[in-house]
Amino acid sequence: MKKILFLFTLFCMVWILIGCQQSTEDSAEDTVSIDRQSATFETSPTQQENEMSIEDSTDSDIINTESGTEMAEIEISSESDFSTSDRKVIYEAFLELEVIQYEEVEEALIKKAEQLGGFLIDASYYEHSDMISGSLSIRIPQNQFQAFLLDVEKEGQKLIQKNVNGNDVTEEYVDLNSRLSSKKVVEERLLNFLDEAENTEDLLTISRDLDETQTEIEQLEGRIQYLDQRIDYSLVTINWFEEKVRIDPIQDNQSLNIMERTKKLFYDTINLLISFFSNIIVFVLGASPVLVPLFLIFGSILYTLRKKKKAKDNQKVE
């Protein structure tokens, strides 16, 4: 019986200890949750500002995304507009002709170009010993380009060379117009910001950005204008040449000058003879130390041979 009471008492004590420990843990958890809630409600002003900045940045990203979508729509619409129009091609031609009476040919080509709405850019002229050559550079409206080339070929006696080139600038033209539209949208927004700006720093920043944007707009417009001029007016370069027939004039008595030429030849001959013999005399005198002994040796040998020959002839006679 005592053992049963002892075990029952021990069991009760263990149960009480376990219950106390569990209540302690629950109270600790409640304390932690209360601390977290208080920390949440006691957020510092800096953190609140950061949260607001994050929200603002998110809103700005949404705005930028919407503006980017608008810009993309502008670019797509501009590309679709240009895709339905004619392609933008810059044409250039080079022709080389052999002509007769180049003055008439040159005058006729310039007059024909003016009739078609073109104009002369450059003209040159060169005269050589056996031919006359020159060149013309003319701008012609693109719709009259082929017709003018046919007229040029007809004016020449012979077509030596013909090259026609086309440079397709449609892609660049579309890109320039798309960029120009985008820059104008940016310019309009900057002007609105400039009207709404209140402090000096914002005014300076917006003014600087506006100046850069307007400079880029001017550059884009200048490039588009340049391409429009080259597209609307094709360049035709014409090189021509005319061979000259050369006839030498008949010489008169004064140009012939027979007596003077005869006297000159006579004196030249005399001078040549004098020079020849004087060279021989100089050579003999200069080489006499060698020539005199050789001459004596050769003379003695020749004399001895003749003497022997004469003695043999006398013996045969006897």
Taking residue 200's Cβ as centre, other Cβ atoms within 10 Å add up to: 8
> How far from the centroid of its chain's Cα atoms is residue 234's Cα?
20
Segments of the chain scoring below 70 in pLDDT: 1-85, 245-256, 317-318
Neighbour-count burial for 101-136, b at 16+ CB within 10 Å, e otherwise: ebeebbeebbebbeebebeeeeeeeeeeeeebbbbb
The confidence score (pLDDT) of residue 318 equals 61
The 3-class SS string of 241-259 reads EEECCCCCCCCCHHHHCHH
Residue 118 belongs to a domain: yes
The confidence score (pLDDT) of residue 266 equals 86
Residue 216 belongs to a domain: yes
**Domain count of the chain?**
1
The confidence score (pLDDT) of residue 22 equals 52
Please tell me the distance from the alpha carbon of residue 145 to that of residue 234, in angstroms, as a whole number. 7
Residue 66 belongs to a domain: no
The answer to whether the beta carbons of residues 148 and 116 sit under 8 Å apart is yes
Residue 45 belongs to a domain: no
The confidence score (pLDDT) of residue 252 equals 57
The confidence score (pLDDT) of residue 68 equals 44
The confidence score (pLDDT) of residue 177 equals 94
Residue 232 belongs to a domain: yes
Task: Say what the pTM is.
Answer: 0.50
CA-closest candidate to residue 240, choices 160, 303, 141: 160
Tokens, residue 226: 């340049």
Residue 270 belongs to a domain: no
The confidence score (pLDDT) of residue 267 equals 85
Residue 117 belongs to a domain: yes
The parent domain of residue 169 ranges over: 89-243
Residue 101 belongs to a domain: yes
The confidence score (pLDDT) of residue 19 equals 55
